[in-house]
């Protein structure tokens, strides 16, 4: 792409109105890399709320639409229409909205989990392939440079053949009946908005994606127990899942929203014949790597060799902490980089495509589906 | 007991000859409290090896016996016979040796697991009751003062009703085929010396005991998967176990000897409605306690209130690290304290009896038995 | 300020061209809060380099000026001229540039240290007062919410009377003669661009500012030893400073750029009669607070009570790490908040003014000046 | 020494009666290695208290003496007299007692600081040389295997030329006027029992010894500021000391007993041209070693290569924490090993002599003396 032709990319957003959490995160993360600008949106089903958010973001109100279908149609028709749309609504609506924009020929970024039904997720997968559009699913945590390094260590054979994976994601925030007065808690624990699972759907999918991304292991079967500890809660708030991978490795996952004392403690440990890695999301600038029978090494983002891919996502020197927004921005940076190449008609390399895509989204929905099935059968082993 | 009458207690040992690990640990731990003296033993089946150890320990050779049966008989017959015996042989021989000393009327301290067969363990339980003797099983890790405090926090209701327990015990030392040239590895991975399980038997029992001790929860059923990752190994070297407790709480245990990067990383986390505790054996002078919606507190042994029982086991001020030997010594200190009271005809309080006993030993063998059963049935849930 | 009237603030930048570090940080940090837009600048003395940066940032080239003086004049004359300017050039030029914009009536944000000469700093102070303009100095690290809480704990009396402060800031990056081929290293170790001190000037000023901000203590005298360990280096790369505060407390500062193994390890510990706090910049989402004779508490940003001021600067829930960019953005958020009020003619509260200002900048230059004087006199105690 | 001839070593003790802290530590540490037995003593100036301790330790009362002079004379005269004496009285009496036993030809272990006057320390040094006796000073903390490794890393050149040392030793325990009702606090803060310094004498000497042992650096001059923060306290309770070493390296020491939140937090960091080490006494099973521009390595006692000397002091596998008693026992193990060789007429190697000796004791007293001198001269630099 020539220097002269460079222009900021433009995007629209569905969701992210007053009181929303993740929509705001998307906007800030995108802003951090100074490359894309929000120009259109439907921020709420409530028109006035939608306009309020638009004004706070200094948007031209002519591009604040009454509903997503109108927006998809009208933006697709503009010469200067949005380059991509960001979907940050509750889980149940992801499918219809994503479908509408794909059908309008617009590239999509969608929050996770992709859908609440596996069929829907697969339908989106087919649509993305047919239309040949870019589609990202924002599994935030694989965006950390240290996670890129973890993946590289596994792929390079530094750990040897992988034997066992222990991954966990405990939180405290639903340890009491928070759904009574917390909007985030309310929709996530409501089957009509969240789908068949709360805990596995919301954070278990991050575990599945993280393990899959770092190790490349494919789940062959699983045995799950979903607990619902808080009285009156319709969906799960704690889950333990045993996993068998193709090829003989095994794994153990735990997710919880009733783990008092845990903030957002996603952690993955991968044990191979020759070494192990240990990544803790709450301390994301470091990766613990231990070769067998040797001292543990603390790899520090920016200081130590994170490999070409990891290093490409580092903005500031070691010891200057990067965090959640930067992990998020790394997904966008990669997505928009690919989009710019696509717009310029250039081919995409593997590194260009290193953002979570619709297939990763489908895997997540499959994981939730199978876990719910197994738990409903008292933990029976379910083929994947 | 009057001050004048006080004399050092005397003990004998079965096992702990040249190259042994745990026998040496017992002797040092006992020595640390300056209260009991080793005076008799059978340190090895090899007489010369036995005498070598006796000489290194400055023992009178007349009390180094050819076999445990002779020792039990002769020491029982002496006026100044041993006050108790310590059994530190491989698992398969615990039963016969313990039986012999109990039948001779001698109090017993036995390493874990108590036996390799549940029937044998239960038989020992009956014998202890019949003879009214003291019997300790050296589950080291509940000896830490911080673990006493953890138990007290649960019992006091500070955590509220317990919902979930996550306990793990990973090690690296058997990640390769160490049994070829390491005596400790060799007997532990050999079914004829170790029993039906290596990993669950050796370290899984510590997990079971720790959870049981801290929480008081009783296992109702479990689903286990025992892995054997190192080629040519007959017994398990990794295991994941889901647990249902009576009363609705659930748990998840992981033990491994192929976890590269882990030294001896026993950890227990207990989550209740109102708080949680987190204890890591490798950092045993501290206990993390988090009340719901409040800052985590780092309780420091010696500094902070560990409660009456915990405090009674602290020898040095905070920041002067106590470790494994002191945890071990705490079991002995409690056991010999109880023994002195028994010898003086005094009644024993709950605190006096706060050492792992034959019932705890039976529970450990039951746990191994059930885990092996479940794993043999592809992880079927097994009633306890 | 009425909702209708809200518009994005606009700013210009001096410095921050190709290869620059801190200019890029300022731009991203400002972008994170979606409130201000870069519209003008002189990014380099080299016109072509300046234009290159402008194009990368999608700027209108008509507002890329040949030099700062022209920019100050022309922007001041525009109806839609910049609301504030950001100065991110090497230390020696801060004074002249800041002076030019202040004289043009434009609000200023200047990187630290404010100037290289105390007289110049004081002159800026007078100018700010005369013109009644807002002036921020970007001491990044006091922007963390945990630091706000630390300050509040001191002010509230929770620590009692402060006795002792230990603050340190070690880095590794200049442990070898990096100035040969690293642009950042080159100008910082060059007296003609950096001033009388490298290490104390660059990072010692952060220590001084952090201690002053958190404790409110005023330095009465100091004794400094500046070392220059790397051969051929004209300025200091390591320094130890003893401090006496007014009122009887004492302090100890250490800064180093040759501390192999340290990334950017700013840490401050404050010890009072009744408690202490411990903040480590590399782990900025947590604050360790220990009341006397009590367990240490780990306060977690987002989880625990950081007080009104700290809480107002939290963007995402606990366990979702915020980092360096967010600390930086907190300074800008406060500065632009104050600027909006000023533009609307509203009075500023103490919280509105809670960003490092020209007086803090002057204190930093005084600190460098006195430290250099003391060290030149073999560590003699110098009145402040 | 032939196997047949082996007998337990016997020792006597001066001090360590009811309520004493360090005497009890010595006894337990000695017991841990099962090699030496307590047979004689003067545990208190109060005869009845002395006998009480003797009875608790199962001692023959005929070897409980009325005073140290009598004991030195009578034990020296016995065929089976003590092999060595352990002196654990308050500082001011160390000199006279040590002198008496040396003059009686008995080997000595003395707690630190060696004496309260430099002249006395030097006199002991001369006496040790004249009588050719073994003399150990129990600087506990250099006994840790990780500290042996730290020393080896420096000596091997792995760190390159040493540039800077930062060592600190903060405690909380004297943050209030504890001397009112705490026996340990009372004598340590009393000049008539403790000497010219409390804080530097008690814990500053550990810092000096640790740095000297690990780095081999010799102090050329120092500048000290001793603070006394608690009202009514005659001696120092906090101190900051700048050090210049021969050869150009510099150092910074901080010791405090008013550091609320610190338990016993001795830490040493050594920075060389090519690497650094970081040892924290409260986490003594690990040593952080960072080669320049490389990941930090966490060396784990028992797991990783601690070198021949370090490894020789490891009793249990990695992850089984050793602590303060084992560090103490390592000094005794080395001392009694040397003593056994001496008794057998064998020569001593450097490793045999690797325990803190009378020269180390003298250096400690010199350090206290010079620090007090400098502080009395408002921190003037004092030649060493």
Residue of B296, B303, B318 to mutate, testing the C interface (most C Cβ within 10 Å of its Cβ) = B296
Enumerate the residues of chain C whose CB falls inside 8 A of the CB of residue B303: 293, 295
- pLDDT for D195 equals 87
A295 and chain D: CB distance < 8 Å anywhere? yes
Phi and psi torsions of B14, nearest 5°: -115, 120
A319 and chain C: CB distance < 8 Å anywhere? yes
- pLDDT for C190 equals 87
CATH 2.40.50.140 is right for the domain spanning B145-316+363-383: no
| Residue pLDDT, tens place only, A282-299 | 999 999 999 999 999 999
Average pLDDT, chain B: 95
Residue ranges of chain D that CATH labels 3.30.360.10: 144-313+363-383
Enumerate the residues of chain A whose CB falls inside 8 A of the CB of residue D296: 297-298, 300
ipTM of this predicted structure: 0.95
Q: What is the mean pLDDT of residues C307-332?
A: 95
Enumerate the residues of chain B whose CB falls inside 8 A of the CB of residue C304: 294-295
| Residue pLDDT, tens place only, C144-164 | 999 999 999 999 999 999 999
Residue ranges of chain A that CATH labels 3.40.50.720: 9-133
| Residue pLDDT, tens place only, C206-263 | 999 999 999 999 999 999 999 999 999 999 999 999 999 999 999 999 999 999 999 9
Residue ranges of chain C that CATH labels 3.40.50.720: 9-141+331-357
Q: What is the mean pLDDT of residues A23-33?
A: 97
Contact between C12 and C78 (Cβ < 8 Å): no
Residue A1 scores a pLDDT above 80: no
Residue B27 scores a pLDDT above 90: yes
Residue of D319, D328, D330, D333 to mutate, testing the B interface (most B Cβ within 10 Å of its Cβ) = D319
For A17-40, give the secondary structure using H, E and C: CCCCCHHHHHHHHHHHCCCEEEEE
In this structure, the number of other CB atoms found within 10 A of the CB of residue C244 comes to 21
Q: What is the mean pLDDT of residues C135-140?
A: 98
Distance to chain A for B326, nearest Cα, Å = 26
For chain B, give the secondary structure using H, E and C: CCCCCCCCEEEEEEECCCCCCHHHHHHHHHHHCCCEEEEEEECCCCHHHHHHHHHHCCCCHHHECCCHHHHHHHHHHCCCCCCEEEEECCHHHHHHHHHHHHHCCCEEEECCCCCCCHHHHHHHHHHHHHHCCCEEECCHHHHCHHHHHHHHHHHCCCCCCEEEEEEEEECCCCCCCHHHCCHHHHHHCCHHHHCCCCHHHHHHHHHHHHHHHHHCCCEEEEEEEEECCCCCCCCCCEEEEEEEECCCCEEEEEEECCCCCCCCCCEEEEEECCEEEEEECCCCCEEEEEECCCCEEEEECCCCCCHHHHHCCCCCCCCCCCCHHHHHHHHHHHHHHHHHHHHCCCCCCCCCCCCCEHHHHHHHHHHHHHHHHHHHCCCCCEEC
Coarse DSSP helix, strand, coil percentages of chain C, rounded to the nearest 5 percent: 40, 20, 40
Report the alpha-carbon distance of residue B201 to residue C52 in Å, rounded. 68
The one-digit pLDDT tens for each residue of chain D (384 residues) are 344 457 999 999 999 999 888 999 999 999 999 999 999 999 999 999 999 999 999 999 999 999 999 999 999 999 999 999 999 999 999 999 999 999 999 999 999 999 999 999 999 999 999 999 999 999 999 999 999 999 999 999 999 999 999 999 999 999 999 888 888 888 888 888 888 999 999 999 999 999 999 999 999 999 999 999 999 999 999 999 999 999 999 999 999 999 999 999 999 999 999 999 999 999 999 999 999 999 999 999 888 888 899 999 999 999 999 999 999 999 999 999 999 999 999 999 999 999 999 999 999 999 999 999 999 999 999 998
Closest CA to B188 of B180, B198, B178, B196: B198
Q: Do B296 and C294 touch (CB under 8 A)?
A: no
- pLDDT for B5 equals 52
At A113 the three-state DSSP class reads coil
C297 and chain B: CB distance < 8 Å anywhere? yes
Report the alpha-carbon distance of residue D96 to residue D98 in Å, rounded. 6
Out of C238, C242, C261, the one facing D379 most closely (by C-beta) is C242
pTM listed for this prediction: 0.97
| Residue pLDDT, tens place only, D95-146 | 999 999 999 999 999 999 999 999 999 999 999 999 999 999 999 999 999 9
B378 and chain A: CB distance < 8 Å anywhere? yes
Neighbouring chains of A at 3+ CB pairs under 8 Å are B, C, D
Confidence grade of residue B3 (pLDDT, cut at 50, 70, 90): very low
Closest CA to C319 of D275, A282, D124, B148: A282
Q: Do C261 and D168 touch (CB under 8 A)?
A: no
- pLDDT for D5 equals 52
Report the alpha-carbon distance of residue D68 to residue B77 in Å, rounded. 44
Residue A5 scores a pLDDT above 80: no
CATH for the A9-133 domain, from 3.20.20.70, 3.30.1360.180, 3.40.50.720, 3.30.420.40? 3.40.50.720
Q: What is the mean pLDDT of residues B260-279?
A: 98
Buried b (16+ CB within 10 A) or exposed e, C282-298: bbbbbbbbbbbebbbbb
Report the alpha-carbon distance of residue A326 to residue A316 in Å, rounded. 11
Q: Which tokens in the block code for residue A357? A: 């895509």
Q: What is the mean pLDDT of residues B60-84?
A: 97
The alpha carbon dihedral of C247, C252, C256, C262 has a sign of negative
At the fourth CATH level, the homologous superfamily of domain C144-315+363-383 is: Dihydrodipicolinate Reductase; domain 2 (3.30.360.10)
Q: Which residue has the tokens 């906007």?
A: A27
- pLDDT for A3 equals 44
Residue C65 scores a pLDDT above 90: yes
- pLDDT for C185 equals 86
Name all contacts of B29-32 with Cβ < 8 Å and 24+ positions apart: B29/B325, B29/B326, B29/B328, B29/B329, B29/B331, B29/B332, B30/B86, B30/B329, B30/B332, B31/D31, B31/D32, B31/D34, B32/B325, B32/B326, B32/B329, B32/D28, B32/D31, B32/D32, B32/D325
Distance to chain B for A264, nearest Cα, Å = 14
Residue of B58, B256, B264 to mutate, testing the D interface (most D Cβ within 10 Å of its Cβ) = B264
| Residue pLDDT, tens place only, A230-246 | 999 999 999 999 999 99
Q: What is the mean pLDDT of residues B49-66?
A: 96
Contact between C205 and C112 (Cβ < 8 Å): yes
C197 and chain D: CB distance < 8 Å anywhere? no
CATH topology of domain C9-141+331-357: Rossmann fold (3.40.50)
C303 and chain A: CB distance < 8 Å anywhere? yes
A258 and chain B: CB distance < 8 Å anywhere? yes
What percent of chain B stands above pLDDT 90? 90
Out of B265, B303, B325, the one facing D319 most closely (by C-beta) is B265
| Residue pLDDT, tens place only, C167-177 | 999 999 999 99
Q: Do D295 and A294 touch (CB under 8 A)?
A: no
| Residue pLDDT, tens place only, B183-237 | 888 888 888 888 899 999 999 999 999 999 999 999 999 999 999 999 999 999 9
β-strands A107-110, A84-88 pairing? parallel
Residue ranges of chain C that CATH labels 3.30.360.10: 144-315+363-383
Enumerate the residues of chain A whose CB falls inside 8 A of the CB of residue B378: 381
Contact between A61 and A34 (Cβ < 8 Å): no
Distance to chain D for C87, nearest Cα, Å = 32
Q: Which residue has the tokens 């003699």?
A: C380
A292 and chain D: CB distance < 8 Å anywhere? no
Out of A293, A296, A304, the one facing D298 most closely (by C-beta) is A296
Out of A168, A250, A271, the one facing B259 most closely (by C-beta) is A271
CATH 3.30.360.10 is right for the domain spanning D144-313+363-383: yes
Report the alpha-carbon distance of residue D124 to residue D113 in Å, rounded. 13
Return the ∠ at Cα B133 (arms to B129 and B139), rounded to 5°: 95
């Amino acid at each position: 792409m020539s220097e002269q032709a460079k222009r900021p990319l433009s995007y629209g957003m569905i969701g992210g109105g007053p009181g929303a959490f993740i929509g705001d995160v998307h906007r800030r993360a995108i802003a951090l890399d100074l490359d894309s600008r929000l120009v259109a949106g439907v921020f709420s089903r409530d028109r006035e709320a939608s306009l309020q958010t638009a004004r706070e973001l200094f948007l031209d109100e002519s591009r604040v639409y009454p509903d997503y279908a109108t927006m998809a149609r009208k933006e697709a028709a503009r010469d200067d229409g949005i380059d991509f749309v960001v979907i940050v609504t509750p889980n149940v609506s992801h499918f219809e909205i994503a479908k509408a924009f794909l059908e309008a020929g617009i590239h999509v970024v969608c929050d996770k989990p992709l859908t609440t039904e596996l069929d829907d997720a697969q339908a989106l997968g087919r649509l993305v392939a047919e239309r040949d559009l870019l589609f990202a699913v924002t599994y935030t945590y694989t965006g950390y440079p240290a996670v890129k390094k973890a993946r590289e260590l596994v792929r390079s054979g530094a750990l040897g053949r992988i034997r066992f994976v222990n991954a966990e994601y405990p939180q405290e925030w639903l340890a009491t009946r928070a759904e009574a007065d917390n909007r985030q808690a309310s929709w996530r624990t409501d089957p009509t908005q969240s789908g068949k699972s709360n805990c596995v759907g919301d954070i278990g999918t991050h575990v599945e994606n993280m393990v899959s991304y770092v190790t490349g292991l494919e789940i062959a079967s699983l045995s799950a127990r979903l607990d619902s500890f808080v009285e009156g809660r319709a969906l799960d708030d704690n889950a333990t899942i045993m996993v068998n991978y193709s090829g003989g490795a095994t794994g153990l996952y735990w997710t919880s929203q009733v783990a008092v004392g845990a903030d957002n403690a996603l952690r993955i440990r991968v044990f191979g014949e020759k070494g192990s890695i240990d990544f803790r999301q709450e301390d994301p600038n470091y990766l613990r790597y231990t070769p067998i029978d040797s001292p543990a090494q603390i790899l520090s983002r920016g200081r130590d060799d994170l490999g070409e891919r990891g290093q490409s996502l580092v903005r500031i020197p070691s010891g200057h902490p990067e965090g959640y927004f930067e992990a998020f921005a790394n997904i966008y940076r990669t997505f928009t980089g690919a989009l710019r190449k696509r717009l310029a008609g250039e081919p995409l390399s593997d590194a260009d495509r290193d953002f979570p895509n619709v297939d990763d989204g489908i895997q997540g929905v499959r994981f939730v589906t199978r876990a719910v099935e197994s738990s409903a059968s008292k933990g029976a082993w379910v083929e994947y």
